[in-house]
Amino acid sequence: MTVLRTGRVGGDAEIVPSWRPGRLAQLWAFLTACSVVARAPRTAIIHAHMAADGSIPRKGLVLWVARRTGHPAAVTLHGSRFAAATERRPWLTRWAVRQAGLVFVLSDEMLQIVRELLPDANVHLAPNPVETVTDPTPAGEQPPGVFFGGEVGPRKGVDTLIAAWPAVRAAVPEATLTIAGPPTSLEVPVLDGVTQLGPVSRDRVRELIGESRVVALPSRAEALPMILLEAMGTSRPFVATAVGDVARLSATGAGELVPPGDPEALAAALIRYLAEPGTATAAGDSGYAACSADYSVAAMARLTEAEYNRLRQSSAATAP
């Protein structure tokens, strides 16, 4: 939970946890958070981050305190279990979210959930922002390398990527594939041109994206994958699947979509970017422009700042 004492992005803010491990510590953290909110200046914006399970009633109560004490209140909804938790207890989510005058969501799925629960909610799509690279090298100037970053298993489609790789190497013999991420039960065979790194840091992931020509993410299930946003922020095209909100990213011209579990289609799309440097550069440039405009840290700061200002004005207009 964030208390923005100046009510603006980048201003004086205090991060206040409402939960800690252990029952007594949890109760103390919750009561402390409520106290901080109640004592904050009336102009301070209270911004809670709500995921699922216990977070929904706990943050809902903190937001209720903010509302009762006359503070502008916002909430960001996130977490992979949010949809399931809402389906189990829609009344609880409805009550908790209603306490905020401003709602941010990370995906189209959450946007739809909130609009169905609270048709009059002031809700905005605000994906996790990414840092864009300054003056990135054009994708087509990089060697013909493919990068995959994520859990190395069937859910992310690594089995499909491995099945597609022999066809990619046959068409582009100098092509390389770098796989980075935590392993699962899936065995990755030894193949020409394939390097498996295991888990790496986020900074190293961004470096590996920049060293590649195209990013592959043939997942069977996703929301809005950060790896694709990071590819766009590095001016790299991607080949992915039409799951979750990925189609919204590909609509910018940043990449190509293939059906899940289709190694032939995946290979054909990767070959196009590897064999046609100009095509890779054009898609990378389109993705970079879209990311800078809509998904970058600066873009999200502009959106948040504008909505904070509207929230403060609305709160002041309705204050007793």
CB 253 within 8 A of CB 273: no
**Which one-letter amino acid corresponds to residue 38?**
A
Per-residue pLDDT for 181 more than 70?
yes
The SS3 of residue 216 is strand
Look at residue 107 in the predicted model and tell me its pLDDT: 83
Per-residue pLDDT for 2 more than 70?
no
| Cβ count within 10 A of residue 99 | 20
Q: Which of 227, 221, 239 is nearest to 168 (CA)?
A: 239
At residue 179 the predicted structure's pLDDT band, cuts being 50, 70 and 90, is very high
Choice between 67 and 83, residue whose per-residue pLDDT is larger: 67
DSSP one-letter code for 67: H
Taking residues 170-179, what's their average pLDDT? 98
Per-residue pLDDT for 168 more than 90?
yes
Look at residue 245 in the predicted model and tell me its pLDDT: 84
Look at residue 1 in the predicted model and tell me its pLDDT: 54
Give the CATH fold of the 2-129+297-318 domain.
Rossmann fold (3.40.50)
Per-residue pLDDT for 163 more than 70?
yes
Q: Which of 105, 124, 135 is nearest to 233 (CA)?
A: 135
DSSP one-letter code for 152: B
What residue spans in the chain does CATH classification 3.40.50.2000 cover? 2-129+297-318, 139-294
Which residues, in sequence order, are CB contacts of 17 under 8 Å at separation 6+?
1, 29, 33
Residue with tokens 């605000």: 126
Per-residue pLDDT for 198 more than 80?
yes
Look at residue 241 in the predicted model and tell me its pLDDT: 96
Q: What would the CATH number be for the domain defined by 139-294?
A: 3.40.50.2000
Cα–Cα distance, 308 to 320 (Å, whole number): 20
Look at residue 320 in the predicted model and tell me its pLDDT: 55
Look at residue 54 in the predicted model and tell me its pLDDT: 87
The phi, psi pair for 252, rounded to 5°, reads -80, -5
pLDDT, tens digit, for every residue of 72-110? 999 999 876 788 889 999 999 999 999 999 999 988 888
CA 9 remoteness from chain centre: 19
Per-residue pLDDT for 16 more than 60?
yes
Taking residues 159-176, what's their average pLDDT? 98
At residue 19 the predicted structure's pLDDT band, cuts being 50, 70 and 90, is confident
> Average pLDDT of the chain?
91
CA-atom Rg of the chain in angstroms: 22
Task: Give the tokens for residue 78.
Answer: 């996130």
pLDDT, tens digit, for every residue of 233-273? 999 999 999 988 899 999 999 999 999 999 999 999 999 99
Look at residue 51 in the predicted model and tell me its pLDDT: 86
pLDDT cut 70: percent of the chain above it: 95
Cα–Cα distance, 301 to 320 (Å, whole number): 30
Q: State the Cα torsion 284-287-288-293 to the nearest 10°.
A: 170
Look at residue 3 in the predicted model and tell me its pLDDT: 61
**Which one-letter amino acid corresponds to residue 77?**
L
pLDDT, tens digit, for every residue of 267-317? 999 999 999 999 999 999 999 999 999 999 889 989 999 999 999 888 876
Cα–Cα distance, 60 to 104 (Å, whole number): 15
Look at residue 222 in the predicted model and tell me its pLDDT: 83
The SS3 of residue 214 is strand
Per-residue pLDDT for 143 more than 90?
yes
Residue with tokens 């922002």: 129
